[in-house]
């Protein structure tokens, strides 16, 4: 962030290209569309297309008829008709000829898109719509509590209020059919609105809620992807990816849609890779395949007993060696066929490492905590000790034996290890003996 006196632009309001504030949530919305026909003027005898694309909460979009020819721009809030009565508030995402193209692509006819646009949203409409949005989190919490009390095997993932606060749509996921008639009754009694339950899939749930993927970017399904194609584990095998479900699965629990993005490119490159090339026979011995670089068209082999040395061989050379093996011939060594270039050299991998697993004690942190506590106790005792080394006589308690006196053990000398002499050890004893002696009578 920045301030108005600097050139970082941190104080610039959120909006399209950060040129100004707009009416979308947070400046940018999900499933944004770039209108590349916005700067083109229509012919004078050509009427503009009277349908508009409207976006609502999440990734829900629909087409509405602009009967009154209201001038609309992308990002404006409008009040639209609903199929169950009342009105809803949404953002304009597309106008003009691009709407016609989108309807043709999604196979939506004008007869199906029969709902119309009422007006541009007024201040009262926006205030009521914002008040309805503020109730969604509280409504979701209470609805989940009621569903748990009823013991329903379902997960309520999102709730969406209609713009006029007369209807609430609950989106849920479940493995099978759920009898939620009792749930609808209790929700209607609690919130005093019409209730609609809509079941969605795992991918639709991730699309509505959004999130950040393992790549560090926003989820594809919540930004631009609308066509969910099936993804199989064979897509990972063709791309030489490890079949680790934790890495291959997305936030929806299904296989990531991005596994299909480069699959066609890999399939085309794999056509030139020879089959059954796991082992090649040479005079030196049998070479085993360790790695295949699909796009560089290079295959890496090693001999038994030389696991640390990988030999790169081009695909064309591998095919030649396979033809020789079929005829019963064997090359002398794979290094004669090696693809040694500036970027492809013999790789010698060193696996020398120190295994330190299990050497650290599980209680090492506990020992540090005990020592720290002991030092704190000693420090507190030294602070509370009276000045002048004055002995404080503790009161005697009847029936309690006195504590044994501490025995002073001589400290060993630092050099010899023997007890060091104490020159003033008997001074007090001599003084007491002299005082106890009676004076002799003369």
- Packing angle, helices 136-150 and 181-191, rounded to 10: 140
pLDDT of 363 over the 70 cut = no
pLDDT at residue 364 in the model: 59
- Packing angle, helices 136-150 and 123-134, rounded to 10: 40
Residue 221 DSSP code = H
Q: Looking at residues 333-360, what average pLDDT do you find?
A: 60
Domain with CATH 3.30.300.20 in the chain: 132-207
Grade residue 398 by pLDDT with cuts at 50, 70 and 90: very low
Grade residue 34 by pLDDT with cuts at 50, 70 and 90: confident
Grade residue 164 by pLDDT with cuts at 50, 70 and 90: very high
- The CA distance from 140 to 138, in Å, is 5
pLDDT of 431 over the 80 cut = no
Lowest mean pLDDT among 32-46, 90-104, 428-442: 428-442
Residues 186-204 have pLDDT tens digits of 999 999 999 999 999 999 9
Q: How many helices (H) and strands (E) does the chain have?
A: 12, 13
Tally the residues of the chain.
442
pLDDT of 172 over the 80 cut = yes
The fraction of the chain above a pLDDT of 70, given in percent, is: 70
Mean pLDDT of the chain: 79
State the CATH architecture for 132-207. 2-Layer Sandwich (3.30)
pLDDT at residue 332 in the model: 86
């Amino acid at each position: 962030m920045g301030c108005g006196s600097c050139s970082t632009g941190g104080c610039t309001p959120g909006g399209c290209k950060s040129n100004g504030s707009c009416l979308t949530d947070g400046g940018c919305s999900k499933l944004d569309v770039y209108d590349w026909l916005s700067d083109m003027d229509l012919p004078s005898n050509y009427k503009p297309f009277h349908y508009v694309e409207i976006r609502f909460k999440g990734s829900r979009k629909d087409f509405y008829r602009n009967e009154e020819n209201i001038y609309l721009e992308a990002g404006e809030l409008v009040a639209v008709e609903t199929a169950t009565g009342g009105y809803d508030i949404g953002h304009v995402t597309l106008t003009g000829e691009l709407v016609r193209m989108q309807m043709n692509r999604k196979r939506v006819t004008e007869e199906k898109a029969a709902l119309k646009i009422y007006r541009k949203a007024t201040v009262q409409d926006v205030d009521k719509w914002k008040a309805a949005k503020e109730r969604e989190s509280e409504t979701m919490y209470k609805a989940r509590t009621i569903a748990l009390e009823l013991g329903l095997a379902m997960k309520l993932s999102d709730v969406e209020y209609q713009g006029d606060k007369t209807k609430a749509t609950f989106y849920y996921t479940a493995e099978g059919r759920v009898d939620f008639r009792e749930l609808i009754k209790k929700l209607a009694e609690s919130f005093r609105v019409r209730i609609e339950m809509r079941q969605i899939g795992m991918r639709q749930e991730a699309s509505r809620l959004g999130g950040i993927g393992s790549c560090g970017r926003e989820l594809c399904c919540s930004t631009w992807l609308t066509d969910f194609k099936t993804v199989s584990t064979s897509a990972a095998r063709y791309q030489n990816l490890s079949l680790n479900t934790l890495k291959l699965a997305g936030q929806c629990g299904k296989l990531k849609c991005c596994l299909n993005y480069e699959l066609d490119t890999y399939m085309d490159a794999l056509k030139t890779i020879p089959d059954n090339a796991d082992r090649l026979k040479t005079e030196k011995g049998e070479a085993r395949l360790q790695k295949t670089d699909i796009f560089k068209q290079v295959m890496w082999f090693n001999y038994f007993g030389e696991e640390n040395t990988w030999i790169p061989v081009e695909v064309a050379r591998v095919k030649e060696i396979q033809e020789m093996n079929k005829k019963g011939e064997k090359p002398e060594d794979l290094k004669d066929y090696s693809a040694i270039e500036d970027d492809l050299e013999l790789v010698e991998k060193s696996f020398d490492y120190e295994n330190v697993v299990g050497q650290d004690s599980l209680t090492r942190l506990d020992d540090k905590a005990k020592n720290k506590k002991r030092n704190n106790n000693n420090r507190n005792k030294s602070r509370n000790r009276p000045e002048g080394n004055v002995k404080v006589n503790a009161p005697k308690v009847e029936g309690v034996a006195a504590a044994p006196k501490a025995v002073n053990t001589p400290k060993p000398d630092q050099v010899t290890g023997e007890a060091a002499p104490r020159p003033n050890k008997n001074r007090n004893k001599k003084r007491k003996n002299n005082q106890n002696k009676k004076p002799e009578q003369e």
